[in-house]
């Protein structure tokens, strides 16, 4: 498995990212992640293939319990009004699905958060696994209707939010 040193950091700590970077045009790797539905109190498995034919925006964060991830996930929630109809937003982290559901309920954020807590596979496949932390690197992916990566941004400084306008443009383009 490829390891990339120096592509992610927080304050003075250099982090090792595991997995290859995805680029626009690449096939989006399928994933199998957990979602806890607080309305029905059931654990569900969500795969990329479950939303085939739709445009998806993947907001990948370290943890919803950190200030930057909290702000970023709220921002995507508010920007969802600017997205074309039918676009799906998923926030993905290694937080436990119960913690994600609790956060979403408390914060009034309505898009699904998916948990990769069981396996590092998502992190490897999308090139976002932070080896030292066993968390995910901040990143944004837009997946088009044909399950191809339309946009990929890997945020090096884990204290910074991603670009919001470039992925919004990529979503709009993929949705037309």
- The catalytic residues are 69
Round to whole Å and give the CA distance between 125 and 143. Answer: 14
Pairing of strands 42-47, 56-60: unpaired
Neighbours of 32 (CB within 10 A): 16
Residue 57: closest CA among 134, 137, 145, 128 = 145
Q: How far is CA 23 from each of CA 29, 32, 87, rounded to the nearest angstrom?
A: 12, 21, 20
């Amino acid at each position: 498995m490829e390891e990339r040193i120096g592509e992610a950091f927080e304050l003075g700590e250099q982090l090792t990212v595991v997995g290859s970077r995805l680029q626009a045009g690449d096939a989006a790797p399928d994933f199998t992640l957990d979602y806890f539905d607080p309305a029905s109190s059931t654990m569900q498995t969500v795969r990329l293939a479950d939303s085939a034919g739709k445009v998806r925006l993947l907001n990948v964060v370290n943890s919803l319990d950190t200030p930057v991830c909290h702000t970023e996930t709220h921002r995507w929630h508010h920007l969802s009004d600017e997205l074309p109809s039918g676009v799906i937003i998923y926030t993905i982290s290694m937080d436990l699905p119960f913690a994600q559901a609790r956060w979403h309920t408390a914060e009034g954020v309505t898009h699904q958060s998916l948990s990769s807590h069981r396996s590092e596979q998502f992190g490897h496949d999308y090139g976002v696994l932070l080896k030292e932390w066993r968390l995910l690197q901040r990143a944004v992916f837009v997946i088009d209707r044909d399950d191809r990566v339309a946009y990929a941004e890997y945020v090096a400084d884990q204290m910074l939010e991603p670009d919001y306008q470039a992925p919004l443009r990529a979503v709009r383009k993929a949705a037309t």
